[in-house]
Amino acid sequence: MKKFVIVGLGLIGGSMALALKGFEGFQIVGVDVSQPTLRFAREHGVGDVVTEDAGQAVEGADVVMLCLHPQGILDFLEGYKDRFKPGCLVTDVCGIKSAVMEKAGCLPQGVDFIGCHPMAGTEFSGVEHAFAEMFRDSHLILTPRESSTAEHMALMERLADYIGCRDVVKTTAAQHDAILAYTSQMMHVIAVSVCDDENLFTCKGYEGSSFRGCTRVAALDVGLWTQLFSLNAPALTVCLDALIDHLQEYRAAIAAGDREKLAAKLAVSADRKRKMDLPGPDLLG
Amino acid sequence: MKKFVIVGLGLIGGSMALALKGFEGFQIVGVDVSQPTLRFAREHGVGDVVTEDAGQAVEGADVVMLCLHPQGILDFLEGYKDRFKPGCLVTDVCGIKSAVMEKAGCLPQGVDFIGCHPMAGTEFSGVEHAFAEMFRDSHLILTPRESSTAEHMALMERLADYIGCRDVVKTTAAQHDAILAYTSQMMHVIAVSVCDDENLFTCKGYEGSSFRGCTRVAALDVGLWTQLFSLNAPALTVCLDALIDHLQEYRAAIAAGDREKLAAKLAVSADRKRKMDLPGPDLLG
């Protein structure tokens, strides 16, 4: 039986195990170090089999998907690089790709690596919040190596289809990290910065949907986001500088009291947003 | 028959007319200057009666709710101040209150005014996007005058209940404007500023729910928000300065590469968000 190992049964790994149930006849093996997580996974059918023995699970595996925090992925690659069988596909799910792809260079010849980032998640963490529909209508980003095989790329595309992704986007690690600094990491920096405002606790009863939409992700997983911000610091600081410039421009236009100028500026920004014309459902429930 | 006049059948006024259908036996009279709007309202039962004659509608009205853009409300109060009958309650729905309450000082003795702001809306505008459930589970903020009658306050509270609001929050115009600069206007400045980023059009395929949540409101009604920002400029610039400071602090922590310090900072912000513990449904659909 073909073996698909998911290392780390947190929110994403757990959801992946649930979503992949029955995929092409693979046996889904879940690995975690936490006993409560393993117990929950066993009781709720998260994976066909679960184990705490990563080494044994990885041996003979056809696919190994690393669903750990970024630093955990780097450490796992280093620690288990000699345990994968030849022809194995190793992949991951994390939100930074340059550091991961670079570290994957330690894998022996014949072990393939394709960076993977499903653009899905919630503000919760842990296997108890996992659900099979997590990836429905989300983008799946792939950052293959030049040497990645066509068979493995095709496998990842069928996987994306099976778990319900809207599309598969293929790019480089550098491009991924530059854009994710903007579309994801910066959104989290904004959310926590807004929550640092002294008015936060007095504003209860005055929040509308725009406030909820912007600050929802502020209740973040501190360990995870510390790593994501740190491992992508150069790209993220560039984005933040641009944002602060744009905010300063709006601040100046508002303070100047020139309504015509402010309206012209707003018309440009609102038009840009409309042109983006983002399709797809809102995943903010 | 008691007469409840809604002046302005846009997104909010139209929704209010739909939500108030059957309220305490009032005849709901909708007023608008746009023929397409009046035709749509007539065909879709937005209001029991609709008319373009604001003067005639206002005469004999028991309640007049001004659902115009902020500047339109100020102009309407000035233009029609002598047309309200004694004992009439005039109210509004707009997102700034100091300028409105001040202008309402022009109403003759015996005409009551209670500032009102239902914390609901979508990124769309116009009567064709109006719906009766708009106010379901939202906050309704009231800024009465000192002289506002208990009967009128009770009427507004029954109205809030009838249209499905979660609660009624009573406050002063100054407090309302300081907090709304933070919870609403600043969210819109953030959204448009994010959309000013040069990466906007290249990020398609890389947006997750945090990006959608933050930027949803960027496709805003330019005229409306120009007025809201301008009429609340002092409070809004204070908020923006605080936000830029908080962003700069995160930028510095990320650039410094000190993961421990960054984690400590994130822990504080995430904890603040969790303490806020905002209840209620997400209205971001």
To the nearest 10°, report the CA torsion of A51, A52, A54, A58. Answer: 0
Instruction: Assign A277 a pLDDT band (cuts: 50, 70, 90).
Output: low
CA closest to B213 among chain A residues: A213
Does A198 lie at the interface with B, CB-CB under 8 angstroms? Answer: yes
Cα separation, B92 vs B6, in Å, equals 9
The angle that helices A222-231 and A233-256 make with each other, rounded to 10 degrees, is 90
Q: Is the pLDDT of residue B284 over 50?
A: no
Does A211 lie at the interface with B, CB-CB under 8 angstroms? Answer: yes
Nearest by CB: A205 against B169, B196, B266 = B169
* Best B137, B261, B266, B271 residue to mutate vs chain A (most A CBs within 10 Å): B266
Q: Is the pLDDT of residue A276 over 90?
A: no
Say if strands A63-66 and A89-92 run parallel, antiparallel, or are unpaired: parallel
Residue-level pLDDT at B123 = 76
Does A274 lie at the interface with B, CB-CB under 8 angstroms? Answer: yes
Please enumerate in sequence order all residues whose Cβ is within 8 A of that of A175, keeping only pairs 6 or more positions apart, or say none: none
Instruction: Answer yes or no: do A282 and B285 touch at CB < 8 A.
Output: yes
Q: Which residues of B touch A226 (CB under 8 A)?
A: 259, 262-263, 266
Nearest by CB: A230 against B257, B274, B285 = B257
Distance between A134 CA and the closest CA of chain B, angstroms: 12
Cα separation, A42 vs A50, in Å, equals 7
Does A162 lie at the interface with B, CB-CB under 8 angstroms? Answer: no
Residue-level pLDDT at B283 = 37
Instruction: Answer yes or no: do A225 and B266 touch at CB < 8 A.
Output: yes
Distance between A172 CA and the closest CA of chain B, angstroms: 13
Residue-level pLDDT at A123 = 76
Cα separation, A56 vs A71, in Å, equals 22
Mean pLDDT of the region B209-227: 93
Residue-level pLDDT at B279 = 52
Does B103 lie at the interface with A, CB-CB under 8 angstroms? Answer: no
Instruction: Answer yes or no: do A246 and B179 touch at CB < 8 A.
Output: no
Mean pLDDT of the region B204-225: 91
Residues A252-265 pLDDT 10s = 999 999 999 999 99
The angle that helices B233-256 and B186-195 make with each other, rounded to 10 degrees, is 50
Query: A213-235 in b/e burial notation, b at 16+ Cβ within 10 A?
Result: bbbbbbbbbbbbbbbbbbbbbeb
Instruction: Answer yes or no: do A187 and B251 touch at CB < 8 A.
Output: no
What is the token pair recorded at B5? 């006049």
Residues A133-185 pLDDT 10s = 999 999 999 999 999 999 999 999 999 999 999 999 999 999 999 999 999 99
Instruction: Answer yes or no: do B193 and A285 touch at CB < 8 A.
Output: no
First to last CA, chain B: 38
Distance between A115 CA and the closest CA of chain B, angstroms: 15
Instruction: Assign A124 a pLDDT band (cuts: 50, 70, 90).
Output: confident
Nearest by CB: A206 against B180, B186, B270 = B180
Q: Which residues of A touch B248 (CB under 8 A)?
A: 244
Beta-carbon pairs below 8 A across chains A and B: 317
Instruction: Answer yes or no: do A246 and B141 touch at CB < 8 A.
Output: no
User: Could you tell me if B89 and B152 are in contact, meaning their C-beta atoms sit under 8 angstroms apart?
Assistant: yes
Cα separation, B80 vs B107, in Å, equals 9
Nearest by CB: A222 against B119, B192, B263 = B263
Residues B17-34 pLDDT 10s = 999 999 999 999 999 999
What is the token pair recorded at B81? 């101040």
Nearest by CB: A195 against B184, B193, B272 = B272
Structure-model confidence comparison of residues B210 and B122, the more confident one: B210
User: Could you tell me if A102 and A70 are in contact, meaning their C-beta atoms sit under 8 angstroms apart?
Assistant: no
Q: From residue B257, how far is each of A231, B6, B153 by CA, in Å?
A: 9, 57, 55
Nearest by CB: A266 against B141, B209, B220 = B220
Nearest to A150 by CA among A162, A138, A142, A139: A142
Residue A194 identity: V
Q: Which residues of B touch A96 (CB under 8 A)?
A: none
Rounded (5°) CA angle A277-A158-A284: 40
Mean pLDDT of the region B186-191: 98
Instruction: Answer yes or no: do B226 and A262 touch at CB < 8 A.
Output: yes
Does B227 lie at the interface with A, CB-CB under 8 angstroms? Answer: yes
What is the token pair recorded at B73? 């409300």
Nearest by CB: B273 against A184, A195, A285 = A195
Q: Is the pLDDT of residue A236 over 70?
A: yes
Q: From residue A134, how far is each of A20, A217, A285 by CA, in Å?
A: 11, 16, 12
